[in-house]
Amino acid sequence: AQKITQTQPGMFVQEKEAVTLDCTYDTSDQSYGLFWYKQPSSGEMIFLIYQGSYDEQNATEGRYSLNFQKARKSANLVISASQLGDSAMYFCAMREGLGAGSYQLTFGKGTKLSVIP
Protein backbone atom coordinates (compact mmCIF):
# COMPACT_ATOMS: atom_id res chain seq x y z
CA ALA A 1 0.00 0.00 0.00
CA GLN A 2 1.15 3.52 -0.72
CA LYS A 3 2.51 5.15 2.41
CA ILE A 4 2.18 8.66 1.03
CA THR A 5 -0.61 9.61 -1.36
CA GLN A 6 -0.72 12.83 -3.31
CA THR A 7 -3.90 12.77 -5.37
CA GLN A 8 -3.24 15.90 -7.44
CA PRO A 9 -0.74 15.24 -10.25
CA GLY A 10 -1.01 18.88 -11.31
CA MET A 11 -2.45 22.11 -9.93
CA PHE A 12 -2.86 25.63 -11.28
CA VAL A 13 -3.11 28.73 -9.13
CA GLN A 14 -3.38 32.41 -9.93
CA GLU A 15 -0.50 34.56 -8.75
CA LYS A 16 -1.16 36.05 -5.27
CA GLU A 17 -3.83 33.44 -4.50
CA ALA A 18 -3.51 30.67 -1.91
CA VAL A 19 -3.30 27.01 -2.88
CA THR A 20 -3.59 23.74 -0.95
CA LEU A 21 -1.65 20.64 -1.97
CA ASP A 22 -3.08 17.44 -0.57
CA CYS A 23 -1.18 14.67 1.18
CA THR A 24 -2.45 11.65 3.06
CA TYR A 25 -0.26 9.09 4.75
CA ASP A 26 -0.43 5.61 6.14
CA THR A 27 1.55 4.42 9.14
CA SER A 28 1.06 2.34 12.24
CA ASP A 29 3.86 4.13 14.09
CA GLN A 30 2.95 6.56 16.85
CA SER A 31 6.08 8.60 16.22
CA TYR A 32 6.61 9.93 12.74
CA GLY A 33 7.44 13.10 10.89
CA LEU A 34 5.95 14.64 7.79
CA PHE A 35 7.90 16.82 5.39
CA TRP A 36 7.25 18.85 2.29
CA TYR A 37 9.94 19.40 -0.30
CA LYS A 38 9.95 21.61 -3.38
CA GLN A 39 11.72 20.53 -6.54
CA PRO A 40 12.09 23.23 -9.21
CA SER A 41 12.86 22.32 -12.79
CA SER A 42 16.57 22.67 -11.99
CA GLY A 43 16.23 19.48 -9.94
CA GLU A 44 17.36 20.28 -6.42
CA MET A 45 15.21 19.20 -3.45
CA ILE A 46 14.41 22.11 -1.17
CA PHE A 47 13.04 21.51 2.33
CA LEU A 48 9.94 23.60 3.06
CA ILE A 49 8.26 22.53 6.28
CA TYR A 50 8.09 19.78 8.90
CA GLN A 51 5.34 18.47 11.17
CA GLY A 52 5.98 15.98 13.96
CA SER A 53 3.29 13.52 14.94
CA TYR A 54 3.26 14.85 18.50
CA ASP A 55 3.16 18.51 17.51
CA GLU A 56 -0.14 19.96 18.62
CA GLN A 57 0.08 23.08 16.52
CA ASN A 58 0.20 23.22 12.75
CA ALA A 59 3.66 24.07 11.44
CA THR A 60 4.22 27.38 9.66
CA GLU A 61 7.24 28.69 7.77
CA GLY A 62 6.71 32.05 6.13
CA ARG A 63 4.16 31.61 3.34
CA TYR A 64 4.00 27.86 3.95
CA SER A 65 1.73 26.22 6.48
CA LEU A 66 0.88 22.61 7.08
CA ASN A 67 -2.73 21.66 7.78
CA PHE A 68 -2.18 18.59 9.96
CA GLN A 69 -5.23 16.46 10.70
CA LYS A 70 -3.90 13.46 12.58
CA ALA A 71 -7.15 11.52 12.83
CA ARG A 72 -7.62 11.78 9.09
CA LYS A 73 -3.91 11.12 8.45
CA SER A 74 -3.59 14.15 6.27
CA ALA A 75 -0.85 16.76 6.06
CA ASN A 76 -1.83 19.28 3.41
CA LEU A 77 0.54 22.07 2.41
CA VAL A 78 -0.93 25.54 2.11
CA ILE A 79 0.98 28.16 0.15
CA SER A 80 -0.33 31.66 0.64
CA ALA A 81 0.13 34.56 -1.79
CA SER A 82 1.52 32.37 -4.59
CA GLN A 83 4.45 33.70 -6.56
CA LEU A 84 5.68 32.76 -10.03
CA GLY A 85 8.75 31.23 -8.41
CA ASP A 86 6.52 28.74 -6.60
CA SER A 87 6.00 26.86 -9.87
CA ALA A 88 7.64 23.50 -9.17
CA MET A 89 7.03 19.90 -8.19
CA TYR A 90 6.06 19.45 -4.55
CA PHE A 91 6.68 16.24 -2.67
CA CYS A 92 5.16 15.13 0.61
CA ALA A 93 7.34 12.70 2.55
CA MET A 94 7.19 10.74 5.78
CA ARG A 95 9.81 9.56 8.23
CA GLU A 96 8.63 6.75 10.50
CA GLY A 97 10.10 6.50 13.98
CA LEU A 98 12.06 9.23 15.67
CA GLY A 99 15.47 9.35 17.25
CA ALA A 100 19.01 8.76 16.21
CA GLY A 101 19.94 6.51 13.39
CA SER A 102 18.85 6.15 9.85
CA TYR A 103 15.20 6.62 9.11
CA GLN A 104 14.78 7.23 5.44
CA LEU A 105 12.01 9.33 3.96
CA THR A 106 9.26 7.81 1.86
CA PHE A 107 8.00 10.18 -0.80
CA GLY A 108 4.66 10.62 -2.50
CA LYS A 109 4.37 10.86 -6.28
CA GLY A 110 4.38 14.64 -6.16
CA THR A 111 2.14 17.48 -7.33
CA LYS A 112 3.24 19.80 -10.10
CA LEU A 113 2.18 23.33 -9.24
CA SER A 114 1.95 25.97 -11.94
CA VAL A 115 1.45 29.59 -10.94
CA ILE A 116 -0.33 31.68 -13.56
CA PRO A 117 0.47 35.40 -13.86
Partner 1 sequence: AAGVIQSPRHLIKEKRETATLKCYPIPRHDTVYWYQQGPGQDPQFLISFYEKMQSDKGSIPDRFSAQQFSDYHSELNMSSLELGDSALYFCASSGRGGTGELFFGEGSRLTVL
Binding site for partner 1 (CB under 8 A): 33, 35, 37, 43-47, 50, 52, 91, 95, 98, 100-110
Q: Which is nearer to partner 1, 95 or 115 (CB)?
A: 95
Q: Which is nearer to partner 1, 51 or 76 (CB)?
A: 51
**Distance of closest approach, residue 58 Cβ to partner 1, in angstroms:** 15
Task: Please report, for residues 13, 41, 90, the alpha-carbon distance to residue 114 in angstroms, rounded to integers and kept in the order given.
Answer: 6, 12, 11
Q: Count the neighbouring beta carbons within 10 Å of the beta carbon of residue 52.
A: 14
**Helices H, strands E: what count in the chain?**
0, 12
Q: Which is nearer to partner 1, 70 or 81 (CB)?
A: 70
**Distance of closest approach, residue 17 Cβ to partner 1, in angstroms:** 26
How far is Cα 63 from Cα 27, in angstroms, rounded to an integer? 28
**Distance of closest approach, residue 73 Cβ to partner 1, in angstroms:** 19
